[in-house]
Amino acid sequence: MANELLRALDRAGRPRVLVLGDLLLDRYTWGDAERISQEAPVLVLRSHHQEARLGGAANVGRMLRGLEAAASCLGVVGDDDAGRQVQRLLAESGIDSAGVVIDPNRPTTVKERFIGRAGGRHPNQILRVDHEVRDPLDGQLEQQLLEQLRHAVRRHELLIISDYGKGVCTPALVSEAISAARQAGIPVLVDPARDVDYARYRGATLIKPNRTETATAWGQPIAGPADALRAGQALCRRLDAELAVITLDSEGCVLARRDGGGLAVPTRARAVYDITGAGDVVMAVIGLCLASGLPAETAVQLGNLAGGIEVERTGVSIVTRDDLRRELLAQQRPGAQKLLDLESASRTLQQHRDRGETIVLTNGCFDLLHVGHVSYLAEAAALGQVLVVAINSDAGVRKLKGPGRPVIGQADRAAMLAALACVDYVVVFDEDTPHRLLETLRPDVLVKGGTYAAEQVVGREVVAAYGGQVRVTGVVDGISTTRIVNSLRGRPRADDWPSVDDERPPTAEPLPSDEPFEESETVYRVSSFKWSFK
């Protein structure tokens, strides 16, 4: 199954998708929830930083851009700072905002979230404040948006209607939008608002309510996938829709067809940090797939996978094709989702940083993984919540060790490290030094294994410049990669050599004092620490 989905993901194109709906601004205030106020029985949040992100239909557009589709947004913002910020963020995300209309009589909808971390634990949303007006658009703005849409549908392969119930998706506008898209020959996907008459969505290709919305529209509780399938088929018949996708939180989702067919798509158990944005990314992935001509079953399976990735992250974050590929590869080969390129690693580590987690990084060749490596990696992992291991590429190892190395190629070295429970992510780098890597990833702690001072660690000045720490772990006596390789090749025993730090035969010239340290050339000594495999 994973192979089929990987091939389908590779076939997905870069379609042009039009998104109509409520354009929102999401504001976040992050901080530490340290104590209870003396003024009232409420938490006191000590703010660390604030940020703003696109929300609602604008977030669907942002998700589409992250999936490498072209996206255009149609909607309304107010003549205010929040509205101007939405337009700026749309432009920065590469989303066409020519169809955004300004309404001077209504404020831009803003959802303000306060995220607190207490007792060193995972941060949680402690309060949300909504600034909004839900009044329907007036007739003039409704007609203006409709004219924009009639011109825009001809330039797109698919229309998504993202109805957040903030007044933009009026029954007349939605009905006319569906009709215009069908006349243009493009599919229409609807993410419906709660507590509205679904008759406005009649004629859509696909409708995607969640469990609660489906129960309200169907008039009965949704106990599980079987109920969802029956309800979805009933909705298809009632709304003259071809497909319904019912999302069922921890039970995955169900695809129902008007003709009576269907598919239940389970999800694997995950650590759920935040469900915000999960519905948007599911809709974006389904839209990408259907606009690319992929089967609905494939679209729903990939959308379900994307939703699972999103809930493991705090706040709304972009899920990329690479994220989906890593998840699918992990189903074939354990640990594959830990293998990141530099760009993906930077984006992923920001998620951990947002959760207040300490990021630890160590780097080296890690040729012939042995007990010395495992011991020092376990000790490094105990210094934070996230351990990143950066390994030299095969070309980099040859520069450092000579033409006979590495013994094991970079793909297999990375896979072996990723299989360790204490390692969270593995990154391969080509440069002679880790400086660019450190400047990009900015770990809180840089760790090396060896018997030397922290000021001898290569890259220490990069980490120190932004306030990070440099730590040196202990070593395991008598174990090194070079010693193992030489014993296999029948070379002299390392015990006869003059220094554990210079593992070449006595005839060799001594190493210069400023030669970069490589942990695979070090003899390790066991230090006292508590093993902490995650």
Q: How far apart are the first and last CA of the chain?
A: 29
The SS3 of residue 402 is: coil
What residue has token string 């489906």? 214
Q: SS in 3 state form for 214-267?
A: HHHHHCCCCCCHHHHHHHHHHHHHHHCCCEEEEECHHHCEEEEECCCCEEEECC
What separation in angstroms does the CA of 285 have from each of 112, 292, 304, 469? Answer: 26, 11, 9, 40
Residues 65 and 95 sit within 8 Å (Cβ to Cβ): yes
- Report the amino acid identity of residue 482: T
* CB neighbour list of residue 526: distance below 8 Å, 6 or more residues apart: 375, 474, 475, 476, 477
Nearby residues of 436 by Cβ (< 8 Å), 6 or more positions away = 429
CA 54 to centroid of chain Cα atoms: 16
Which uninterrupted H or E stretch holds 138? none
Largest CA distance in the chain: 90
Rounded Cα gap, residues 114 and 526, in angstroms: 44
DSSP string for residues in 437-476: HHHHH--SEEEEESSS-GGGSTTHHHHHHTT-EEEEE--B
Torsion 410-415-418-421 (CA) sign: negative
225-239 and 211-218 helices cross at what angle (nearest 10)?
A: 60
Q: Are 239 and 208 in contact (CB under 8 A)?
A: no
Output the six-digit token pair for 11. Answer: 């076939």
Give the per-residue SS3 of 291-354. Answer: HCCCCHHHHHHHHHHHHHHHHCCCCCCCCCHHHHHHHHHHHHCCCHHHEECHHHHHHHHHHHHH
Catalytic residue among 103, 274, 280, 354: 280
Task: Please choose, from the candidates 163, 520, 531, 203, the residue with its C-alpha nearest in 3D space to the C-alpha of residue 363.
Answer: 520
Backbone phi, psi, residue 502, to 5° = -125, 100
Q: Is 280 a catalytic residue?
A: yes
CA of 193: how far to CAs of 243, 254, 311, 378, in Å? 17, 19, 21, 48
For 272-292, the DSSP string reads ----TTHHHHHHHHHHHHHHT
**For residue 224, what are the CA distances in angstroms to 210, 250, 252?**
12, 10, 10
Q: For residues 461 and 245, what is the distance between their CA atoms, to the nearest angstrom?
A: 52
Give the catalytic positions in this structure: 280
